[in-house]
Chain A
């Protein structure tokens, strides 16, 4: 992509001019077709519905990893709070799913009564159903638009976007960078998750929202079908997200944000309002994360505040680091590889490893392995899995004898830099 700015303008489609984008889209397309053909709902039934869901969720994780790569790998902002935006997206869609499904149930049950139920009765019925677990029977104000799918969909985009905008504006304006910014984003995540844990947060405290896998009004539709629908939607979102991110980083905008990553002060002296760029990238990636979350949680079926715990965002950074930051396919590979492996290990499918008297049960030891891999990748293969593609392509990169690319401690070092 280095010569993108100078390459001749061309009328051919964007993906054609960027072979890695084209390859990615083709692979994603083939994968989607293959899963559809093998699925229970639409094909041969060779893979279980729950595995289709796992794959669909994985695609959503790949999408949020793309966002993380954009904000960290390209723009150098090590945000450890993007899973909060992911969770907010999940809550936003979950509220409508839960409200609407409960409403249908309540209307059904009241239909048996002699007098037609009043609006208030229906509303009370829904509230009791939803908030009974936290001892409340009224709708908190936060649910004001939960009845409206379009409004909750808007919230999927607007709430993470606005939160990121406000948070970013405060942080970037005071020139908080590096470790301090990372800590601040962790604090934001922690605050949000602690708030959601409270019963009076209006989002059912630690119960979270559940039953999200059921689409309101489509109760007769088996999960084998719904799961493939969501799989398709996730694949579509990932494809569109990849195309969007690739477009974003391909031109001068990509140049400027990578320059900000490597030497923020120098970019200022070129006349670029660095804070504005960071704010834009931070907010846009928060929105992408929100959308990914809105597709993820209906497949997971449940969302609770533990999902927003600070550690989730740290895992996200680990995936991107293992996959290879600063290249979009690296983020996708990292997220897919590590999260699937994690599912396998923690699902109890992995055989125990017997080392003499020590029996390694992966359910417990997987996190240790992940931590060690992270350290190993950071030390020995800073380009991550994506770096393997460089070996294949034998890409030349400048020999800078290990010097930093910029004076900022957050700047990439030679071996990490790519694209």
Chain B
């Protein structure tokens, strides 16, 4: 399979502290990948780099068929190229309805003038309804997103990501604050999403990662400690020491 994203030799330091240290990472198209690591391992910072929020001190990040470098692009350009991101803390637009949140995320022209003249077609509405169905919020389309429960907000955010139709989906701790049943639903959603795109999931919960049933990358102190199947990495001595042992 073709490589979709290649991160090589990336380092970032905040006030002298190396949050990411010579990190290299690759993901193929239509691949599902779990990233685990102790608190402060640099998982969120890693996503910040790919999405353009944080500029690395050194290293390369190339993406897509033409291997464009993402380092000089703005956040919105990177998103337009098909990199979608779910944040650790659910961030939906709480003051707006679930339907508006989804409609805003649908893959469309993003420029101000295009948005100004945009009026949703029947197809767009159908797509929003379909997405709402997928994330279990069909009954809540007209409710304000702020009224939703924590788990529902997480889903809404996943729905917004799916609406963007990204080629690469970065998901930061999607199952945080979810009930076991909700977690299961989330796993299914992510696995289904990975059939048509690359998905990177950051998660602490081992059970959740096991259920994803995919290749796992372990981060520690800003670099890759181990990579492989879940059984492979959980047997790794170093991994046990820094992460699982505690």
Interface residues of B in 85-104 (CB under 8 A from A): 85, 87, 91, 93-97, 99-100, 103-104
* Partner of B79 from A2, A253, A269 at Cβ < 8 Å: A269
CB distance from A417 to the nearest CB of B (A): 5
Q: Is A255 an interface residue (CB 8 A)?
A: yes
Q: Is A18 an interface residue (CB 8 A)?
A: no
CB distance from B45 to the nearest CB of A (A): 15
Q: Is A392 an interface residue (CB 8 A)?
A: no
Interface residues of A in 383-418 (CB under 8 A from B): 397-400, 405-406, 412, 414, 417
Say whether chain A's binding surface is mostly helix, strand, loop, or mixed.
loop
Q: Would you call B87 and A272 a contact (CB within 8 A)? A: no
Given contacts A6-B97, A6-B142, A271-B79, contact A253 B112 (CB under 8 A): yes
Interface string of A249-277 (1 = CB under 8 A from B): 00111011011001101101111111011
A262 CA / B91 CA spacing, docked (Å): 10
Instruction: Give the residues in chain B near A273, CB-CB below 8 Å.
Output: 74, 76, 110-112
Q: Is B204 an interface residue (CB 8 A)?
A: no
Can you name the residue of chain B whose Cβ is closest to the Cβ of A271? B79
* Partner of A398 from B53, B76, B91, B146 at Cβ < 8 Å: B146
Q: Interface stretch among B33-41, B115-123, B213-221, B236-244?
A: B115-123
Instruction: Give the residues in chain B near A412, CB-CB below 8 Å.
Output: 95
Q: Is A3 an interface residue (CB 8 A)?
A: yes
A293 CA / B116 CA spacing, docked (Å): 26
Q: Would you call A280 and B112 a contact (CB within 8 A)? A: yes
A44 CA / B101 CA spacing, docked (Å): 54
CB distance from B148 to the nearest CB of A (A): 8
Q: Would you call B80 and A271 a contact (CB within 8 A)? A: yes
A274 CA / B75 CA spacing, docked (Å): 10
Q: Is A9 an interface residue (CB 8 A)?
A: yes
Q: Is B160 an interface residue (CB 8 A)?
A: yes
The listed residue with most A CB atoms (<10 A of its CB), out of B53, B105, B118, is B118
Interface size on A, residues (CB 8 A): 36
Can you name the residue of chain A whose Cβ is closest to the Cβ of B145? A398
Instruction: Give the residues in chain A near B21, CB-CB below 8 Å.
Output: none
Q: Would you call A3 and B99 a contact (CB within 8 A)? A: yes
Q: Would you call B79 and A6 a contact (CB within 8 A)? A: no
Q: Is A248 an interface residue (CB 8 A)?
A: yes
Q: Is B210 an interface residue (CB 8 A)?
A: no
A254 CA / B51 CA spacing, docked (Å): 25
CB distance from B244 to the nearest CB of A (A): 32
* Partner of A405 from B53, B94, B104, B122 at Cβ < 8 Å: B94
Q: Is B128 an interface residue (CB 8 A)?
A: yes
CB distance from B164 to the nearest CB of A (A): 7
Q: Would you call B91 and A266 a contact (CB within 8 A)? A: yes
Given contacts A6-B142, A256-B104, contact A270 B95 (CB under 8 A): no
Q: Would you call A398 and B142 a contact (CB within 8 A)? A: no
The listed residue with most A CB atoms (<10 A of its CB), out of B91, B95, B99, B100, is B95
CB distance from A341 to the nearest CB of B (A): 30
Q: Would you call B76 and A272 a contact (CB within 8 A)? A: yes
* Partner of B118 from A6, A251, A269, A277 at Cβ < 8 Å: A251
Instruction: Give the residues in chain A near B94, CB-CB below 8 Å.
Output: 262, 398, 400, 405, 417
A273 CA / B74 CA spacing, docked (Å): 9
CB distance from A355 to the nearest CB of B (A): 43
Instruction: Give the residues in chain B near A259, CB-CB below 8 Å.
Output: 93, 96, 104
Q: Is B144 an interface residue (CB 8 A)?
A: yes
A255 CA / B144 CA spacing, docked (Å): 13
Q: Is B147 an interface residue (CB 8 A)?
A: yes
Given contacts A256-B104, A398-B144, A398-B147, contact A268 B99 (CB under 8 A): no
* Partner of B103 from A255, A265, A269, A274 at Cβ < 8 Å: A255
A3 CA / B143 CA spacing, docked (Å): 9
A143 CA / B181 CA spacing, docked (Å): 73
Interface residues of A in 1-25 (CB under 8 A from B): 2-3, 5-6, 9
Interface residues of A in 273-301 (CB under 8 A from B): 273-274, 276-277, 280
- Other A-B pairs, 7, CB within 8 Å; known A2-B144, A251-B119: A3-B97, A252-B115, A253-B115, A256-B104, A265-B53, A270-B164, A271-B79
- Nearest 4 pairs of A and B residues by beta carbon: A398-B146, A271-B79, A268-B75, A398-B147
Interface residues of A (CB under 8 A from B): 2-3, 5-6, 9, 248, 251-253, 255-256, 258-259, 262-263, 265-266, 268-274, 276-277, 280, 397-400, 405-406, 412, 414, 417
Q: List 21 A-B contacts (CB under 8 A).
A: A2-B144, A5-B99, A5-B104, A6-B97, A6-B120, A251-B118, A253-B116, A253-B118, A256-B115, A263-B93, A268-B74, A268-B75, A269-B76, A271-B80, A276-B111, A280-B116, A397-B144, A399-B147, A405-B93, A405-B94, A414-B146
